[in-house]
Amino acid sequence: MLVLPHRIADQLKAEAHAAAPRECCGALLGRRELARRVVRELRPARNVASTPEVEYVMHPDDLLRVLDESERGGAERQLLGFYHSHPRGPDGMSGTDRSRATWDGFAYVLYAVPDDRLAAWVWDQAERRFRPEELVLDRGEAA
């Protein structure tokens, strides 16, 4: 289960709308609690894809910065996964998303702008597929 506070969901949506017609992207930081992953922060990244309207590639410097923050951040700042947007849809992970996924067991959150829909998946490297992840929007700021 991935727990996403409403304030962070709103931040992600605002970033996606501001980036359109390009896809936005970034990382999710937070803490692990047994079967729950609780997102505490978004870390936006520059999308350096050659066709950013239909794909995303996180800038390597931004990814390294996030990995460094996670390494030094303790239990509250673990790398939980990644996010991106689809400005024109679809509301599910695309073939490109599947072909480029590499972070086994990490969450991938997608915001489909036209449908105003947030959804989460976990990449299963052994099966080479995304598994749906329960996404809980939490009103509590202390999540």
pLDDT (tens digit per residue) in 73-132: 888 899 999 999 999 988 899 999 999 999 999 999 999 999 999 999 999 999 999 999
| 18-64 per-position pLDDT tens digit | 999 999 999 999 999 988 999 999 999 999 999 999 999 999 999 99
Task: Give the distance from CA 47 to its chain's centroid.
Answer: 13
Paired tokens of 110: 């997608």
Catalytic, out of 15, 23, 71, 141: 23
| 127: annotated active-site residue | no
Q: What are phi and psi of 50, to 5 degrees?
A: -70, -25
CATH class, range 2-138: alpha beta
